[in-house]
Amino acid sequence: MLFGNLVEYDPALLEYAVHPKLVPLVEEVVGGAVRLEETEAIINSRNPEAELGELHKCRYNPTGFHRGTQHGWGTYIEQNKFHCIFVKTLAYLTDVGPDDGGTCVIPGSHRLTWNQGEMIEAALSDDKLIYQVEASAGSVLLFAEALIHSTTAIRSDNERVILISGYTPPMLREWPGNEVSPEFIETLPEDIRPLISGSASWHWKRRY
Ligand SMILES: O=C(O)CCC(=O)C(=O)O
């Protein structure tokens, strides 16, 4: 079950998305000030129609590798540091063990300009090219969206709950469907407002 555009729904969700411990880490990867471009939550559990035996045949069961940007135009290197203009944070609200559908990623894909389909095909035929996240409830995964990643089929009886926040530089647009109402933005304290509304200005406050 996927819930989208959540930031107006509950103050706790806003508080998390703009958390002062989280945002500087995101800014470090993006390379400057950021705005929130999407918020989502996913609650998932094992597909009752999936054969458990089939799910155990593979070490990992990614259900749709993808990425939101790619190395070469969505990333840059500055002062020997890798940056990406689209960063996600995934907060795991439940413990996620090896059978609980932790996010699968293709390590290193965020720095490759190779064909995405070929990288996914290679990873699906050699599980050494895949890493599956395991986490305790409360952990946050932060990654560049140039990294190829996927939701993973659950093999256990556990439900998995995650909160997703995406960030970009302030002059970029929100993901379609994640528009935040001007009335809500009006209610926000001055310091938080640009994080939610973005900015029309191309004067980007950099980390350097
Ligand atoms: O469900 C997951 O673990 C990954 C979510 C995802 O693919 C995304 O946020 O783009």
3-class state of residue 184 by DSSP: helix
| Spatial separation of the C-alpha atoms in residues 31 and 168, rounded to whole Å | 10
- Regarding the beta carbon of 83 and ligand 1, being less than 6 Å apart is answered no
What is the structure's pLDDT at 28? 97
**Which spans in 18-59 are helix H?**
23-30, 52-57
What is the structure's pLDDT at 161? 98
Nearest to 195 by CA among 2, 16, 12: 16
What is the structure's pLDDT at 115? 96
Tell how far the Cα of 83 is from the centroid of ligand 1, in angstroms.
20
Tell the residue nearest (CA) to atom 7 of ligand 1: 150
What is the structure's pLDDT at 35? 98
CA-CA distances (angstroms) from residue 71 to 113, 179, 193?
6, 26, 30
Calculate ∠ Cα 147-36-132, nearest 5°: 30
- Token pair belonging to 70: 């790619």
Tens of pLDDT along 12-49?
A: 999 999 999 999 999 999 999 999 999 999 999 999 99
What is the structure's pLDDT at 157? 96
Q: Could you tell me if 37 and 172 are in contact, meaning their C-beta atoms sit under 8 angstroms apart?
A: yes
Mean pLDDT over 108-121 rounds to 97
Q: Could you tell me if 189 and 14 are in contact, meaning their C-beta atoms sit under 8 angstroms apart?
A: no
Tens of pLDDT along 152-176?
A: 999 999 999 999 999 999 999 999 9
Nearest to 84 by CA among 151, 150, 34: 34
Tens of pLDDT along 120-138?
A: 999 999 999 999 999 999 9
Mean pLDDT of the chain: 96
Q: Could you tell me if 140 and 22 are in contact, meaning their C-beta atoms sit under 8 angstroms apart?
A: yes
What is the structure's pLDDT at 208? 73
pLDDT > 90? residue 207: no
Q: Which of 151, 154, 158 to mutate to test the pocket of ligand 1 (most atoms within 8 A of CB)?
A: 151
Looking up tokens 């528009």, which residue turns up? 179
Q: Please report the domains of the chain, with CATH numbers, ordered by start residue.
A: 2-197 (2.60.120.620)
Tell how far the Cα of 205 is from the centroid of ligand 1, in angstroms.
28
